Chain A
Amino acid sequence: MGALIAVGAGIAALTGIGAGIGIGIATSKAAEAIARQPEAKGEINKTLLLGCALAEATAIYGFVIAIMIILFLG
């Protein structure tokens, strides 16, 4: 039972993959955009930060669920 719960928590933590890919793509595009238009740097930074925060939230949800699995099933 304990091992199964650990596996479940591990699977929940896999949400990090999506967030990592998303933030990576967003950052690469932002770097491209700044290279193309350096004068729009402030605006691009603001948008990038918002996008990263939203993408990162999914990873955080996975983390919260993993902790809940350990706490309430463990």
Chain B
Amino acid sequence: MKDIAAEMYAMLNETKIAFTVPIFGGIPIPSSVAVTWGIMAVIVLFCIIFVRGFKLMPGRMQTAIEMFVGWIYDFFTGILGEKGRKYIPYLGTVLIYIGCANIVGLFGLIPPTKDLNVTAGLAIMSIVLVEAAGIRSKGTRGWLRSFKKPMAVMVPFNILEIVIKPLSLCMRLFGNVLGAFVIMELIKAVVPAIVPLPFSFYFDIFDGLLQAYVFVFLTSLYISEAMDED
């Protein structure tokens, strides 16, 4: 039992510190941060390369990009409605980031979303956005009044929801990525060749993208709920 625990702990903490910045006596950089910088660099590079030279008559590449961005806008507009359009750039960014972060495991890197701190940060950003959207659309008094809906007895539960929503968002993403990672490691330990391939397709690509989709879907659902006037 002890050695299983030790092995799991090692898996959880695997290369937790990627390197140390040698100033001020050394600032440790976790690998999740380093991988996130890599993802950021790749996405920014993609943006610069593909967006350069857009024409009025779109070529094949431009059509594909426009379809992708159009799909993101349609998807979120369907949930948030017209007045929620200003939140779409943030949600789209989070969708692309989590999607890339989850499939980065294919390239032998450790997905940043396997770090609880990353998912917790994303979830806190989401709940701040949700409450800010509520305040912006209803005003501070309307927002405070929304806590005692549908009746005054519900106040403690509505306040609890502020904690529960990000907690469940954070744990869902973290648990899914960690679960996929642990299962993949176990499969690789038993059969190192061929067999992990279909599982990798499911766990790394399908499940990773699905979780990114679910994360932003739930966030936008919460936003539309917070903006709802009734």
Chain A contacts of B12 at CB under 8 A?
Answer: 71
Number of interface residues of B (CB under 8 A): 23
Beta-carbon contact of B175 and A74 below 8 Å: no
| In the complex, B174 has a CB within 8 A of chain A | yes
Picked from A1, A49, A64, A67, the residue with its CB within 8 Å of the CB of B210 is A49
B218 at the A interface (CB under 8 A): yes
* A residues near B2, Cβ cutoff 8 Å: 2, 74
Q: State whether A57 touches B4 (Cβ < 8 A).
A: no
Q: Indicate whether A33 reaches chain B with its CB closer than 8 angstroms.
A: no
Given A49-B213, A50-B217, does the pair A60, B5 have CB atoms closer than 8 Å? Answer: no
Main secondary structure of the interface of B (DSSP, over half): helix
Q: How far is the CA of A2 from the CA of B5 in the complex (A)?
A: 11
Determine if B5 and A71 form an interchain contact, defined as CB atoms under 8 angstroms apart: yes
Q: Is B214 an interface residue (CB 8 A)?
A: yes
| A5-B1 contact given A49-B210, A61-B171, A70-B8, CB 8 Å threshold | yes
Which B residues have a C-beta under 8 Å from some C-beta of A? 1-2, 4-5, 8-9, 12, 168, 171-172, 174-176, 178-179, 182, 210-211, 213-214, 217-218, 221
Lowest 10 A-B CB distances belong to which pairs?
Answer: A2-B1, A74-B5, A60-B175, A53-B214, A64-B175, A57-B172, A74-B1, A63-B179, A70-B5, A63-B175
- Seen from chain A, the residues whose Cβ lies within 8 Å of a Cβ on chain B are 1-2, 5-6, 49-50, 53, 56-57, 60-61, 63-64, 67, 70-71, 74
